[in-house]
Chains A and B, each alone.
Chain A
Amino acid sequence: MRMLTGQTRPTSGTITVLDHSIATESKQARARMGVVPQIDNLDTELTAEQNLTMFAALYRVPRKERPEAVNRALDIAHLHDRRDSKVSELSGGMKRRLLVARGLVHNPELVLLDEPTVGLDPQVRQELWSLIDALRTQGTTILMSTHYIEEAERLADDVAVVSHGRIVARGTPHSLREAHVGTRATEFYASPSRLAELERIAQDAGLATRRTGPSITVLRSENADTSLLDSLGEGVHRKANLEDVFVLLTGEGLQ
């Protein structure tokens, strides 16, 4: 993410963003990009409105257009009634929304979202998701990084699975599921020692599995022999998801 804004230099290769080479024209590229960082680096002693006006100036929004730009950003982030609140008085979710608003104040063509919902509770996360979806519907290009696979599954049109700095698969959530894990997964709950045994039986039968905490998940269970599944015990069927793809492609071990 930092390489796209020229804040980290690539060790090799070249980067072009919106037709601007980052090596020579990073400023022009940055003027057309909005960045929402993972860490909250708002000016906490200032109000929401002051934070936005400041960045409208930094992103060269002409002085006369700044109030309008700030209003628009406050609208998008649903923070109108908080415009005069100091950042230190805002909740975690509001701060995150203000960060998003700050990244949008100059109406960028491309928005970089770095782990937008990390550490947020489900209600707030949901709220941010609908905000991101609204942007996407408007036609803004969004590049988002996330460890939270459900987020990518719900929001992304195009997903790249990155492992050790390399893209190992890319496509729509649907096509990735289709290509790697099929449509149905079945989870079997058992004691830890029994889990290892189940895993071996399934793998011996040529089925892909993954550990899911207290259970193991048999992937592509729609193709599996019913008698084989029965021999594994009582399974819970569910839809295959992008997380299955991610774990399958990047390995079971901790990265």
Chain B
Amino acid sequence: MTASRTSRRYEWATFEGVWHRQFTLFRRYWLSSTTSSVIQPIIYLLAFGLGVGTLVETVDGISYVEFVGTGSVATAVLFASAFPGMFNTYVQRVFQRTYDALLAAPISVDELTLAEGSWIAAKAGFYGTFPLVVTFFFGLTPTWGMLLVPLFGFVTGLGFAFFGMWVSGIIKNIEQTSYVTAIVLTPLFLVAGTFFPISNLPPGLQVAAQFNPLYHCVELVRAASFGWDMPQDVYHFAVLLVFAVMTWLLATYQLRKKLVE
């Protein structure tokens, strides 16, 4: 009897319920989000790979198309996690008020945050593989290590999904997301080693890049594609884990504040 009296903080049944809901929603819009996830890397590859590729043949011994193709995995993950984290969370909380209905069910804010974040991250991990697949058609050789790319995408996606969810609990209206996109996300995405190597940057920016989770994701994807570099790659993975845990705590704290008055 005593065991049933205390609520366990995270219960499996809750996750099943929240994921079931998101999966039902996903079945309605999978086509549009999947199409954009396929088209986006193709555009990057055409614009940068073939455009800039005529000026630059190889970077660090890798063909420029493959350099950008592997790098855009991180971009795809970012777009598939930070934006849903910000927009979907804000819309469901403020406009649709669906979170109110969910929280009237036996679900805690902590569980809701983790379940929603992990759902977004799983999608991000999945969509993150698309640029890689597209790059196969531009000559990239598949490797066994690439099987880890969904995992790298998932962990990076967790961090950025929670980051977006945290932001969604801070902003006063949905227009303010454009500040975050312009001031935070765009620089992160440009200075991640996706389109040009970090080593070409001034030393100050090189240090700054170390604090960019996307950079670590890019490095891991390239390692999986072109060869590991230990223990450096363990360090990259550890940074992503720390980022995910930090943003998870922030998102949980902020949404608790917003959803329970």
Contact = CB atoms under 8 A, between A and B. Distances in A.
Interface of A: 2, 5-9, 24-28, 30-31, 33, 35, 37, 39, 41-46, 50, 53-55, 57-60, 102
Contact of B17 (A2, A26, A58): A58
A16 to B, nearest CB: 13
Contacts of A55: 101, 105
A35 B20 CA distance: 20
Give the size range of B's interface with the partner. Answer: 20 to 34
19 contacts: A7-B261, A9-B260, A27-B106, A28-B4, A28-B106, A30-B106, A37-B100, A39-B97, A41-B98, A46-B25, A50-B24, A53-B20, A54-B20, A55-B105, A57-B16, A58-B21, A58-B107, A59-B17, A60-B106
B102 interface: yes
A217 to B, nearest CB: 39
Contacts of B14: 58
A6 B106 CA distance: 10
B15 to A, nearest CB: 11
Interface string B103-120: 111111000000000000
A6 B13 contact: no
A108 B260 CA distance: 23
Nearest to B28: A45
Nearest to A59: B105
Contacts of B16: 57
B105 A58 contact: yes
B7 A24 contact: yes
A2 B7 CA distance: 19
A46 B20 CA distance: 13
A57 to B, nearest CB: 4
Looking at B21, B97, B101, the one whose CB has the most chain A CB atoms below 10 A away is B101
Contacts of B4: 28
Given A8-B261, A41-B97, A55-B105, 20 more contacts: A9-B260, A9-B261, A24-B7, A25-B7, A27-B11, A30-B104, A37-B97, A37-B101, A37-B104, A39-B97, A41-B96, A41-B98, A45-B29, A50-B24, A54-B17, A55-B101, A57-B20, A58-B20, A58-B107, A60-B13
Contacts of A102: 101
Contact of B106 (A2, A37, A59): A59
B25 A28 contact: no
Nearest to A102: B101
A8 B17 contact: no
Contacts of B97: 37, 39, 41
A55 B101 CA distance: 9
A58 B18 contact: yes
B172 interface: no
B259 interface: yes
A65 B191 CA distance: 52
Contacts of B107: 27, 30, 58
Contacts of A6: 260
Nearest to A51: B24
B167 to A, nearest CB: 22
A80 to B, nearest CB: 20
A156 to B, nearest CB: 22
Contacts of A58: 14, 17-18, 20-21, 102, 105-107
